[in-house]
Amino acid sequence: MQATALQAYPSKADVPSRDIGGTGRCRGCCVSAWPETRVQCVRLTVAMACDIRCRFRGLTLISMASIMLPMTFQRDISDPPLPDHATLGEWALFLDLDGTLIDLAPTPDSVVVPPDLIETLAVLEQTMSGALAIVSGRSLGVIDRLLAPLRLAAAAEHGAVIRAGAHDAAEAGGDMAVPASWRRQLRQLAQQWPGALVEEKPNGIAVHYRANPALEEMVSTALAAMVAGDSSFEVLPAAMAREIRHRDANKGAGLQRLMRRMPFAARRPLFIGDDVTDEDAIAAAQALGGIGLRVPDHFGGAPARVRAWLCELAGRG
C-alpha cells in the first residue's frame, strides 16, 4: 500500500467526498465522540479495497490499522477487484464456517449462529442462482443443522463429501473413512486427557483441546504416531484441535469438484477462510483465476467483519 501524506482538515465539513477511480464514493462512517475528541473515520472504497481515513484533531491519516470498521478489510490496491452486488452473477462464493462466518466457541457444539447471517446467506444464494457453498471441516449434517432452515451447496469434512446444490444428494469422494480401530483408540486416550473433546465425523475424527491448551503436544504426538503406518492419512492442525483426515480430503479438492458442476462452472471463485485448513482452498481458488481471502489478514480476524461485508455484498448493508 503506498504511503499517503498527512492532510489537515479544519472542520468536519471539509472532509472531501469524491469518486475513487470510478468505483466508489467516499462515505462517512462511525463518527466517534465528535466534537469532544474530534475523531472521525471515513471509509474510502477502491474497488472494494478499503482504506481508513482517521482524523484526530484536524489531521487525516490514511491507515490500514487493525481497528477497522466492520465492513472494511485490508487488501493492497493492486489486488484483483472483489465482487460487488452488481457483479455477483460472475462469481462463485465459497465460505468456511467456523472462524469465518461464525465465531469460535469453547466446544464445537456451543457455537452461536447469528440470525442475520442466515438471512444474508439466503439472499446471496438466491441472487447468485445457487453459486454459494459452505466449505467446512464439519459434517454435512452439522452444517445443515447450524444453518437451518437453509440448505446450501457444500464441501463438507474438508472436501470428503460435496453437495452441488440444495436439492442434490451428497456425493462422497471415495472411501476416506478413518479406521474404526483408530476411533476406539482415540476415545480411550481422550479419557486420559483432561479437557480434551473428541469430535467424530463420518469420515474423520478430531480432538479439541481448547479447554486445556497444554495438551497440544501430547495430542499431536499421539495422532502422528497413529497415522505413521498408513500414508493415506495425515494429521491436520486446526485452531486448538488436531484432526485425522484422508490425504485426498482437502478443501481445495472440494472447491475444485464443485467448480466443475453447475451453477459454479464458468464463474470466478472467491473463497474466504481463517486458518491453515483453508490454505488448499485459497490456492485452488487462485489457480482457477479467482481470489482467496484470509480472515486474519483481510478482516482483522473478526467473523463479524466477514458477516458485515457479506451483508453489504447482498445489498442489505
Q: Which of 51, 96, 274, 278 is catalytic?
A: 96
b/e string for 237-276 if b means 16 or more Cβ within 10 A? ebebbbbbbbeebbbbbbbbbbbebebbeebbbbbbbbbe
Specify the DSSP class assigned to residue 25.
B
List Cβ neighbours of 305 (8 Å cut-off, separation of 6 or more). Answer: 68, 70, 71, 72, 73, 299
Decide if 96 is catalytic: yes
List Cβ neighbours of 7 (8 Å cut-off, separation of 6 or more). Answer: 59, 60
d(CA 305, CA 299) in angstroms, rounded, equals: 6
The DSSP bridge pattern shows strands 268-273 and 291-294 to be: parallel
The DSSP bridge pattern shows strands 197-200 and 205-208 to be: antiparallel
Can you tell me whether residue 314 is helix, strand or coil? coil
Q: Which of 80, 101, 77, 81 is nearest to 304 (CA)?
A: 101
Crossing angle, helix 251-259 and helix 279-287, to 10 degrees? 30
Q: Which residues are catalytic?
A: 96
